[in-house]
Each structure stands twice: as C-alpha cells, then as structure tokens.
C-alpha cells in the first residue's frame, strides 16, 4: 500500500564518528500496521529519535544532537512492503 507521508532528510554524526544522511518518516507518522506494539524507546532521549529509514526499510535512530546543517521535510509517497 502506497501512501503520502512527510519525509525528512538530514545528516548527523553517528556514534562511530561517521556522517550519515538519512531519509526517514517519524515514528508518530507511521501507520499502526507498521508500529504495532513497538515502543519508540529512544525518542527524545539525549537527542535520539526512533524513525523509519526509507532507504533501509527498517527502524533506525536519528541523532538530533549531532545534526550537520538542517533537517529538511517534503511530502512524498512511500510503500511499506
């Protein structure tokens, strides 16, 4: 099923010291069929946010505390398969 979501793009420094660019959908914007009983355990803890990485098709953690530049947002379609 393909739907329209707000897709965010940002670069941050990982815990390993590498700069990573991520395209993601915020946990709060995900359909309930994807979230299920999962808990966003890292959301708002020291700048960490659990998000859905649309390039890796998996939950990942975005580190707002080490953002490089700014996080941009756009409306786009995405299909959870």
* Cβ contact 53:36 at 8 Å: no
25 or 36, which is more confident: 25
The residues facing 52 across adjacent strands are 25, 59
Task: Look up residue 40 and give its two tokens.
Answer: 């966003």
How is the chain split into domains, by residue range?
A: 8-70
Residue owning tokens 């530049």: 69
Residue 36 has pLDDT above 80, yes or no: no
Q: Global pTM? A: 0.88
Q: What is the mean pLDDT of the chain?
A: 90
């Amino acid at each position: 099923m393909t739907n329209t979501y707000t897709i965010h793009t940002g670069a941050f420094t990982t815990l390993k010291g590498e700069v990573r660019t991520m395209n993601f959908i915020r946990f709060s914007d995900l359909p309930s069929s994807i979230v299920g009983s999962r808990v966003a355990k890292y959301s708002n803890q020291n700048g960490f946010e659990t998000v859905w990485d649309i390039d890796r098709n998996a939950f990942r953690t975005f580190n707002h505390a080490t953002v490089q530049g700014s996080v941009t947002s756009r409306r786009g379609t995405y299909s959870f398969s």
